[in-house]
Structure 1
Amino acid sequence: MKFRLLLIALYCCSSVRCQIVDYAVASIPAELLEHANAVVRFDKTETRIESSESVVRKRFRAVTVLNEYGLSGMQAYEGYRVKSICATLYDANGREIKKFKRKDFHEESATSGASLITDGRVTYLNYVPASYPFTIVYQSETEDANSAFINPWYPRNQNYISVERSEYIIDCTPNLGFKYKEYNYDGNGISREDRKDGLTYIVKSLPALKKEAYAPSVSRYLPYTMFGIGKFNLEGVAGDATSWENFGAWAYNTLLVGTDELPEATVAKLKSLVGTESDPLKKARIVYQYMQNKTRYVSIQLGIGGWKPMKAKDVDRLGYGDCKALTNYMRSMLAVVGVPSYYSIIYGDRDREDLREDFVSMQGNHIILAIPQGDSYVWLECTSQETPFGFLGDFTDDRLSLIVKADGGKLARTESYNNNIQKITGNYRLDSAGGINGQLEIRSLGLEFDKRSSLSSKSDDDLRTHYKEFFSLNNLKLDKVVVQADKNNVEFAETLTLSAERYADTKNDRLFFPVNAFNKIVSIPQRYRSRISPFEISHQETYHDEIIIEIPEGYKVEARPDGAKLEDKFGNYASEISQIDTNHVLFKRTLDLKKGYYAKEEYENFRKFLEQVARYENAKIVLQKS
């Protein structure tokens, strides 16, 4: 298979001569090859903040790609103005194969599949590897007129990539308010040299990290440094990052003022929709439904538009916008019906990421809306046509957001969902050949709604495929499937009629079968000889089942598992199997997983808890023919 190597804006052979280094794979220390798909042989970045309108970056980077999965370590996207750029290719023995000059690089729009409009440009080198391993050495010099985004330095931020040596040098012209903040730097062998208006980092011999189960976002445990200046420039507009209050006021007055005007016809329509309703949240719910029916999401990134929303009247006319535009549109419509709301900056990612409260800078990658409700807020996700009113899901829940107001910014934490419940009730009949047929109802609330609600848009064939994977039943046949999303109560319901042949094993007039036929939710995560990362149970979760099992005529229960009860810091588990009458058995079980952030040393205890649960989940009933 051919892979495209994307080398973006990479670095000035004309101004910085490559040092003579042995790039042979054989010279890489053995410990850096373990678990590695690529090895960073040498990476040196020099950043000079000349003024609020000029940031110059020079970079020299040599990476040995060991296999096709290491190509991602080669990508170095540069959206800045490229002053010089070149690259050199070496084979596995460190022999030079080819040089790439400026004319060999391509420049094109940085439009992604999610972007409708953008003026971003990207410079890159197309290279299709003929064989592995190989080494690419590249250099470039770039200049950026924006000082709002000073790239943070991560010694490493990818799994399966090791680092032989990395240097980061940053200097700033005096009196620009240079600042930096280090995170997760305890005992990691990184050296730092301080200067009056700058500093240098050096790190050597970082082995590759494997992806580990339940690992949190890398920013929560791997070292990195953030940089910035107090008064920055964004596309020719002066900005203030001296405090979150000042930053919020700047964002409101620079990005939002003058964007909330709506056509008179829309104003009249909104007032007609809410009628005499006086409750702010009820009015907001009506307007939210109107917006969802009228708009769709696209990405728009023009100039300061990476942060400034499209005007509300343009969204109203076109029927589309990005997160900034749609949130501002909703804000503008709520103002028409007398409901205050606030544009809010946040990180959107299922790996939870907070704005850094202790470092004021341009952060975040998403916008949501906050409606004040007493001492808290009701939060709205404005980019989805399906999301319930006041529900965020795990993309933006439980993290700091910057609420943007005319009188300044304020950090507030979004809602944390603790009632995340999946409940399965139903019955199934077992026949003498080991087959089962029955009916189930699955009800999902909270973030479980978030996981299941996409089923409502799937075709019948896709639903059948999904349930065969979800239940892990051989020979599963679905006779009827009905799914329904109750957005008012944030509850998703699934009703199924199903059957499966040979569910039970038959031997010597006996049937052997796991009592839990439908919801074995526990998988045992991998064991690690020496785990690196802490681990996280990101949300409180509850799974509750009540299933009635009808046994075949002429059979009796010979053996059944005892009830179980586990209590642990990571969660609780309880199961009960009781015989209702001669032909019916009731199975009940509840698993509660507790939200928490834990040290790596506790991971093996967590595994043992899940192993115990799994043993109970797989317990079998034995029926004997009378």
Structure 2
Amino acid sequence: MKIRILLLSLSVSFISNGQNYKFGKVSKEELMEKISPLDSSASAAYLYKYRRTHIEYRQGQGFYIETDVHQRIKIYTKEGFGYATKSINLHVSNNENEEVVGLKAYTYNLDDDKIVETKLEKDGVFETQESKYRNQQKFTMPNLKEGSVIEFKYTINSPFYWNVENFEFQHAIPVKELYAVFETPEYFNFKINPKGFLRVTPRQERGSGKILFSDKVRGGGGMSGAGLSGPTITTYTNTSVDFVKYSTYYTFKDVPALKDEPFVNNIDNYRSAVKYELSYTSFPQSPFKYYSTTWEDVVKTIYDSSAFGNELEKTGYFEDEVDALVASVSNPMEKAALIYHFVKSKVKWNRYYGKYTDDGVKKAYQTKTGNVAEINLMLTAMLRYVGLNANPVLISTRNNGIPLFPTLDGYNYVIAAIESPEGVILLDATNEYGTPNVLPLRTLNWEGRIVREDKSSSTINLYPKQKSQDKLTMMVNLTSVGGLEGSIRSIKTNHHAMTYRKRYLETDHDQYLEDLENKYGGMEIEEFSVKNENDLSKPVMESYKFSIESQADVIDDKIYFSPLFFLRSKENPFKLEKREFPIDFSYPSSIKYMVIVNLPEGYKVESIPEPAAMVLPENLGGFKYNLEARGTNIQIIVDTEINEAIISPIYYDALKAYFSKLVEKESEQIVLTKV
């Protein structure tokens, strides 16, 4: 098997054999441990994590994949109780499903220096249907306390031998010891794709295996020479086939926790893990069958599927309505806009992802509901029908990770793209509040792959270039007791507008106002108004009047306050000394505050903060901070920009300093004194 090893920065030593990890052999030392020796801040830790995944042959059913799991976890604090709930995802497809067998689980506690074990009973195990593709079995360990050790083991039997769940070596809590093995007969060749920051150095062995077959043969029962029927005789013939078995072993000790950080796309992208993907099969007396080895293979396989490429060829179900829709329009982009809005209003998303259709585009059109593929392949077909150069774009959503290697499983979503001399326009008709090139956040995940009719493909950047703007104007009267009365007006564009519309339009309006008042600490709002909430071609505008108390400190004859009041940035989101992950802001943005403060009668300005400006390297962003006292009022303008959706970690120190300076400036106070 071919192995690609990433250039990684952290080495992990091999497991020692001193500790007894036989199931049920929990020690007093483990129960008495108060903090993790690997990480004193850890709420829990894996003491032992075992997994063996192996492909077997079952007579009458064929090959299947079996995964044996054994985990022992130490719970240090209440914050670690979540690790005592285990959810096992089970795939379902074509009337076949995965199942959990042999579940055994215990919670161990110390009571008067004695180890007390509590068994997980059957009534503590639940199975639910999460979707038509996935069931879930869940259990929560009983009698949980701070200091408990929990232990469970089970086996997953799966008919989907080509679908190997990722081997994960790193988690949000430390791992004391880990042992994993993958075993496969010679008939299956898997690509091994590692990722993460741990050095993955597997050990491989070649061994032998045997498949046993038992054939039942019935004989006798005919007429004997004496004219009597003889007995029926059943005989069994056993045969066997020898094969070469390949085993890959992974052993780790003292694996550090992988801790999430602000503005990380998906922390799972950086988790140390290995993904296995079936490359080809080679059975005796059968030709090689290839699955995926290059991006060209992947694209061809997807496009040739009847649930993808064939769906793009179907037009009869929409032709009459689309012809009528664009009959009076000649401009291609105007046609595109009409079709885009038509599909969004015609077919609602059923919340299922997928690069393949389930029931097909025609049925989705008729029932007015469909999955991602049905809606966006339908959109692509309509755009092509009216003469536009439209093609589907395969995407891996944020929660699905980044496909670093050619893989069929890497893509789980599809959108539409129009290629024109002016550039590429990306469209997702599942996104009710989206506009051209304003995709939902779930799809903003590095690069997609545009697939053309000739089955060629190329990558395309999914992140927008145009900034999302948020301009807020606040005019307030500051009272002599430190309260504010005034008005706010904000204008939002692109992703800022999309996010606002989703939050506002999908929330009860009374609840929305209550949440807004609570956000700013007891604000009272009146004359609330929103414009263009349903007109996606225009910026969304929000305005209201408000009053709020305790926004300034009144001490003797002086008043102290931050110029931005409740709008100011209160803390730097970047606190770590160093960072290895890219900083993902999702999209470029510009936020501008303009605040005019009318002073209370009888007060004048004693001091105001100095203006400031800061620019990030490579024009990645910057801020400007200006104040000006004008007799009875003060004008404050704060303008911040992040010009790139993704910023490399090599600029982390500069970005950390940028936010530190911004927080510092916005915290500086204006001082008023009585005249």
TM-score, normalised via structure 2 length: 0.77
How far does residue 227 in structure 1 lie from its aligned partner after superposition?
1.4
In the alignment, the residues of structure 2 paired with residue 49 and residue 403 of structure 1 have an alpha-carbon distance, to the nearest angstrom, of: 35
- For residues 275-313 of structure 1, the C-alpha deviation after alignment (integer angstroms, 9 at most, x for no partner) is 132333321211121122222221469xxx884443111
- The aligned residue for residue 231 of structure 2 is none
Report if the CA contact (8 A) 1:297-1:323 is conserved.
Answer: yes
- For residues 248-275 of structure 1, the C-alpha deviation after alignment (integer angstroms, 9 at most, x for no partner) is 1221121224435768574211111111
Aligned partner (choices 246, 250, 259) of residue 297 of structure 2? 246
Report if the CA contact (8 A) 1:89-1:96 is conserved.
Answer: no
CA shift in 2, pair 1:262/1:440, >3 Å: same
Aligned partner (choices 157, 161, 172) of residue 142 of structure 1? 157
- The aligned residue for residue 279 of structure 2 is 230
Matches within 5 A, 1:32-71: 32=38, 34-49=40-55, 54-64=63-73, 66=75, 67=78, 69-71=81-83
- The aligned residue for residue 285 of structure 1 is 337
In the alignment, the residues of structure 2 paired with residue 39 and residue 136 of structure 1 have an alpha-carbon distance, to the nearest angstrom, of: 12
CA shift in 2, pair 1:119/1:594, >3 Å: closer
In the alignment, the residues of structure 1 paired with residue 600 and residue 445 of structure 2 have an alpha-carbon distance, to the nearest angstrom, of: 49
Is structure 2 residue 99 aligned with structure 1 residue 85? no
* Amino acid across the alignment from 2:129: A
Unaligned stretches of 5+ in structure 1? 1-16
- The aligned residue for residue 457 of structure 2 is 410
Matches within 5 A, 1:462-541: 462-470=511-519, 472-485=520-533, 488-489=536-537, 491-517=539-565, 519-521=567-569, 523-525=571-573, 527-528=575-576, 533-534=580-581, 536-538=583-585, 539-541=587-589
- The aligned residue for residue 591 of structure 2 is 543
How far does residue 96 in structure 1 lie from its aligned partner after superposition?
7.3
CA shift in 2, pair 1:33/1:611, >3 Å: closer
CA shift in 2, pair 1:525/1:496, >3 Å: same
In the alignment, the residues of structure 1 paired with residue 269 and residue 140 of structure 2 have an alpha-carbon distance, to the nearest angstrom, of: 34
SS of the equivalent of 2:513 reads helix
Report if the CA contact (8 A) 1:522-1:610 is conserved.
Answer: no
Moved more, 609-618 or 509-518: 509-518
In the alignment, the residues of structure 2 paired with residue 574 and residue 375 of structure 1 have an alpha-carbon distance, to the nearest angstrom, of: 33
> How many residues matched?
585
How far does residue 193 in structure 1 lie from its aligned partner after superposition?
0.8
- The aligned residue for residue 341 of structure 1 is 390
In the alignment, the residues of structure 1 paired with residue 430 and residue 575 of structure 2 have an alpha-carbon distance, to the nearest angstrom, of: 39
- For residues 121-163 of structure 1, the C-alpha deviation after alignment (integer angstroms, 9 at most, x for no partner) is 44x364552232241221315133351x32222202x32x322
- The aligned residue for residue 202 of structure 2 is 192
SS of the equivalent of 1:503 reads coil
SS of the equivalent of 2:532 reads strand
SS of the equivalent of 1:247 reads helix
Matches within 5 A, 1:299-314: 299=351, 307-314=356-363
In the alignment, the residues of structure 2 paired with residue 176 and residue 134 of structure 1 have an alpha-carbon distance, to the nearest angstrom, of: 39
Is structure 2 residue 471 aligned with structure 1 residue 423? yes
In the alignment, the residues of structure 1 paired with residue 636 and residue 81 of structure 2 have an alpha-carbon distance, to the nearest angstrom, of: 46
- For residues 553-592 of structure 1, the C-alpha deviation after alignment (integer angstroms, 9 at most, x for no partner) is 4432222222122234474222111134x22322112122
In the alignment, the residues of structure 1 paired with residue 292 and residue 548 of structure 2 have an alpha-carbon distance, to the nearest angstrom, of: 62
In the alignment, the residues of structure 1 paired with residue 371 and residue 74 of structure 2 have an alpha-carbon distance, to the nearest angstrom, of: 36
In the alignment, the residues of structure 2 paired with residue 270 and residue 72 of structure 1 have an alpha-carbon distance, to the nearest angstrom, of: 54
- For residues 403-444 of structure 1, the C-alpha deviation after alignment (integer angstroms, 9 at most, x for no partner) is 344432524223323413221124222334433322322122
Report if the CA contact (8 A) 1:428-1:550 is conserved.
Answer: yes
In the alignment, the residues of structure 2 paired with residue 448 and residue 189 of structure 1 have an alpha-carbon distance, to the nearest angstrom, of: 40
* Amino acid across the alignment from 2:419: P
Unaligned stretches of 5+ in structure 2? 1-20, 92-96, 207-245, 283-288
CA shift in 2, pair 1:166/1:502, >3 Å: closer
Report if the CA contact (8 A) 2:350-2:370 is conserved.
Answer: yes
- The aligned residue for residue 220 of structure 2 is none
- The aligned residue for residue 367 of structure 1 is 414
Aligned partner (choices 628, 640, 647) of residue 578 of structure 1? 628
How far does residue 179 in structure 1 lie from its aligned partner after superposition?
1.5
Report if the CA contact (8 A) 2:599-2:633 is conserved.
Answer: yes
SS of the equivalent of 1:229 reads strand
RMSD (CA atoms): 3.6
How far does residue 314 in structure 1 lie from its aligned partner after superposition?
0.6
In the alignment, the residues of structure 2 paired with residue 75 and residue 35 of structure 1 have an alpha-carbon distance, to the nearest angstrom, of: 25
Report if the CA contact (8 A) 1:230-1:241 is conserved.
Answer: yes
CA shift in 2, pair 1:624/1:566, >3 Å: same
TM-score, normalised via structure 1 length: 0.82
In the alignment, the residues of structure 1 paired with residue 270 and residue 98 of structure 2 have an alpha-carbon distance, to the nearest angstrom, of: 33
Report if the CA contact (8 A) 1:388-1:490 is conserved.
Answer: no
* Amino acid across the alignment from 1:576: N
- The aligned residue for residue 182 of structure 1 is 194
Aligned partner (choices 343, 349, 354) of residue 297 of structure 1? 349
* Amino acid across the alignment from 1:382: A
How far does residue 241 in structure 1 lie from its aligned partner after superposition?
0.9
In the alignment, the residues of structure 1 paired with residue 72 and residue 469 of structure 2 have an alpha-carbon distance, to the nearest angstrom, of: 47
Aligned partner (choices 139, 145, 153) of residue 167 of structure 2? 153
How far does residue 72 in structure 1 lie from its aligned partner after superposition?
6.2
- The aligned residue for residue 30 of structure 1 is 36
How far does residue 617 in structure 1 lie from its aligned partner after superposition?
0.7
Report if the CA contact (8 A) 2:588-2:643 is conserved.
Answer: yes
In the alignment, the residues of structure 2 paired with residue 347 and residue 442 of structure 1 have an alpha-carbon distance, to the nearest angstrom, of: 34
SS of the equivalent of 2:311 reads coil
* Amino acid across the alignment from 1:22: V
In the alignment, the residues of structure 1 paired with residue 345 and residue 87 of structure 2 have an alpha-carbon distance, to the nearest angstrom, of: 39
Is structure 2 residue 304 aligned with structure 1 residue 272? no
CA shift in 2, pair 1:511/1:18, >3 Å: closer
Report if the CA contact (8 A) 1:379-1:414 is conserved.
Answer: no
Is structure 2 residue 446 aligned with structure 1 residue 399? yes
* Amino acid across the alignment from 1:320: T
Report if the CA contact (8 A) 1:560-1:577 is conserved.
Answer: yes
CA shift in 2, pair 1:60/1:219, >3 Å: closer
SS of the equivalent of 2:441 reads coil
In the alignment, the residues of structure 2 paired with residue 119 and residue 624 of structure 1 have an alpha-carbon distance, to the nearest angstrom, of: 68
- For residues 523-580 of structure 1, the C-alpha deviation after alignment (integer angstroms, 9 at most, x for no partner) is 223644x767535142433221222222234432222222122234474222111134
- The aligned residue for residue 8 of structure 1 is none
Report if the CA contact (8 A) 2:607-2:672 is conserved.
Answer: yes
Report if the CA contact (8 A) 1:323-1:383 is conserved.
Answer: yes
- The aligned residue for residue 11 of structure 1 is none
CA shift in 2, pair 1:262/1:243, >3 Å: closer
- The aligned residue for residue 9 of structure 1 is none
Is structure 2 residue 433 aligned with structure 1 residue 377? no
In the alignment, the residues of structure 2 paired with residue 452 and residue 544 of structure 1 have an alpha-carbon distance, to the nearest angstrom, of: 16
Identity across the alignment (%) = 16
* Amino acid across the alignment from 2:450: I
- For residues 53-94 of structure 1, the C-alpha deviation after alignment (integer angstroms, 9 at most, x for no partner) is 844223131232524633366333233534842313141259
